[in-house]
Structure 1
Amino acid sequence: MSTKLHIERYCHIKNSTVSLNGAPLFEIASEDFLTFIKAAYKELDTKYSKFFKMDNLSKLAFLAADVLLKEDTSLSEGEKNIAIVLSNRASSLDTDRKHQASISDPKNYYPSPAVFVYTLPNICIGEISIKHKLFSENSFFIFETFSADLLKVYTESLLKTNKAEKVLCGWVDFDADSYEAFLYLVSSEGTIEHNNNEITRLYRL
């Protein structure tokens, strides 16, 4: 692929607000994540029966991805050749704590499989892939801070070697009461250049 790459669109979820391309889609006056994400799910017409069984990291990533992908009509209704490259700093730590707490409880030693299944950060990629029929490459990186450079290099490698037509990538982090999602879709379409400065600028909005 020799075509210049661009960011088609981007989504932020933070501070009880969901925004697309910098414009708020949904916001609520609540600091409680579960109250906020449940209300956002209903307002944005997400429609995925497994949503409320997910851990918080997966809910966060899934909702941001759904905002970006559900109106993408440029690809077929069947399998879509969109790769996923996500990153964060806390891995699945929020769920890991719950899993460890159940193991440490002598009265409830055997933890719930519903919790255990989410003790890997890339499980959220699986949920996104199932909903949107994505079967391309995927990776989940753990960084101390957001790294525009690595996301850019890895994304461009996937596209230039024709391993994907588009790449959904970004940062999705959940740890205790702190949460933040910034996902964006990269392809040959769009008006925002795919470079470190633009990725960083959008992340900081």
Structure 2
Amino acid sequence: MIGRSHLVLGVACGLTAAAAGWVPLSWPIVIAAGLGALAPDLDTERSMLGCRMVWLSRPLSRMVGHRTVTHSFAVPIAAGWVSWHYLGQAALDSALGAFLIGYVSHILADMMTGGCWAFYPLSRNRLSLWPHAKAGSFREYLLLVACLSLLGWFSYRCLVHEPRQEKLKFGHIPLIALSGPGEYEQQQNSAVMRS
């Protein structure tokens, strides 16, 4: 996928993770998911993030090439395990968890647009998933819309069946739409009575 598609998909995955209650909904979470979705392409200076960090992307490109080591599930799994082992579950329930979710979304998207070394170091074969689309093509945009629709459906199901209002806040503004009819007014009245 091209960088813009990765960014949109990564942010959507971060929002879906927040809807599922895996991470809290906040601006740092959304930004971390977007950055995580761009991070695997640091192995090329032609990417959205790579062209801004040429000092890193150019030597990385020479050492490993594109869609190889940085596009392996081993990277987010190892980073997640180390974080959990040394920092605890709270580390994965934060922006770091959102970053890793965005990272995984990039690998899955690239598996549908040309393939990548998803199981490196176990295998150096490019793994591709169906439906296959060329990066930047009209089929890629159709694939992106399908992925966003699926994530939207999953988010809706999570919010309707298991609302987690204590986590779903942007700053201090509650998401009123998540409350059922009259629930928001009852919450406000009980808050006034407590104070």
- Pairwise same-fold verdict (TM > 0.5): no
Q: Which has the higher helix share?
A: 2
- Greater Rg over alpha carbons, structure: 2
| Higher percent of residues as strand | 1
